[in-house]
Amino acid sequence: MLELDLTAELDRQLSVCNACRYCEGFCAVFGAAQLRTAIGSGDVAYLANLCHDCRMCFDACMFTPPHEFALNIPAVMTQARVETYVEYGRPAVLAAMFRRPGRAAKLAVAAAVVLIALAVALFAGPEAIRPQLGPGAFYRVIPFAAMLAVALGLALYGVISIALSARSFAHDIGGGVPFVTAATLRTALHEAISLVYLKGGGSGCYDEHRESGRRRFFHMLVFWGFLADFAATISAAVLQDFLHDLPPYPLWSVPVALGTGGGLAIVAGAAGLIAVKKRSDPRPMSPRMIALDYAFLGLLELAAITGLALLAFRSTGAMGSLLVLHLGAVAGLFITAPYGKFVHFVYRFIALVKHAHEQKN
């Protein structure tokens, strides 16, 4: 359960909103808040993850600081979302490290790079810094079995950790009422894929005190880039395991085309999101959420840029070092996924399912 002072603060701010109710016309959060006579801590987690951080309610409100009511709903929501990630993250000891997300992300990548570099030094030795050409070139630096075992181990860890977090979160926001049905899942899936709420109150978010579709556009680039890279990995596995065609693959092959397109989309999307964030008014944001955002976007950039560099220099002596860096960055993403910004899509999706249930009843 989330901290009581956050619950009391959101309750106070929403009770002032009740006297105005202007924002109810454009934001699902205020409509959902209206259904509650008092805000409990499960409600805070639900409303905070239903909030898409468009910040329109900050720009539209006449009671924001320096007014004595000091309403700042987006700041409370972002603070509550950060608390969600720490509170529900499993195991709790690792989730607690993300109270300082930048340091945790750097530690995760550094540890992964050092361990992979040691493994490469033991397995390949000096061969790792010589050009490796032809089928199986990557596996002469790191054996395929080791790569697969670590990737599967990290993926399994991430899935179990996120599933445990999601179950606790769904239990708390549900308040004992089941809300997951085929219809609510369908509605939430449509809303999540179309990023409908990143349109804010109309045609965009209020990052610089005016409507803009930039954040939604860059978010879409990262989202589809991520899916393209995932599809590239699956297609490479099919080529290798079913058609016995070992990497590296030609530039025009399906895995390389998907991986390159996805990597470029992530580089552009993450850079765009960082630029938007740097120009945004920091008042409607929690400093801890800003740190969490930068840590995640930085990791995404590192993974995508090292992946593209690996493609560009794969037939040179730099391939071994770039492979270590790229795998270290990807491992960092996997390790931090259950506690960092990546996990926001899980909590947000569950909140959308709950919202769809409330709308239908």
44 in Cβ contact with 10 (< 8 Å):
yes
| Least distance in angstroms from the C-beta of 262 to ligand SF4 | 28
- Smaller CB separation from ligand SF4, 55 or 341: 55
Chain residues in the site for ligand SF4 (CB under 6 A): 23, 27, 29, 51-57, 73-74, 77
- Smaller CB separation from ligand SF4, 76 or 232: 76
- Smaller CB separation from ligand SF4, 78 or 161: 78
CA angle 301, 331, 81 (to 5 degrees): 70
CA angle 222, 226, 228 (to 5 degrees): 120
HSE of 121, CA atoms in CB hemisphere, 13 A: 6
In the 8-state DSSP scheme, what is residue 64? Answer: S
HSE of 57, CA atoms in CB hemisphere, 13 A: 30
- Smaller CB separation from ligand SF4, 55 or 314: 55
- Smaller CB separation from ligand SF4, 24 or 301: 24
- Smaller CB separation from ligand SF4, 53 or 229: 53
| Least distance in angstroms from the C-beta of 359 to ligand SF4 | 16
| Least distance in angstroms from the C-beta of 23 to ligand SF4 | 6
- Smaller CB separation from ligand SF4, 52 or 341: 52
- Non-local (6+) Cβ contacts of 79 within 8 A are 6, 286, 288, 289
| Least distance in angstroms from the C-beta of 67 to ligand SF4 | 17
- 6 residue type, one letter: L
Rounded to whole angstroms, the Cα distance separating 144 from 139 reads 5
| Least distance in angstroms from the C-beta of 24 to ligand SF4 | 10
- Give the CA radius of gyration of the chain: 22
Rounded to whole angstroms, the Cα distance separating 173 from 175 reads 6
| Least distance in angstroms from the C-beta of 47 to ligand SF4 | 8
Q: Burial letters for 269-305: b for 16+ Cβ neighbours within 10 Å, e otherwise?
A: bbbbbbebbeebeeebbbebbbbbbbbbbbbbbbbbb
| Least distance in angstroms from the C-beta of 361 to ligand SF4 | 21
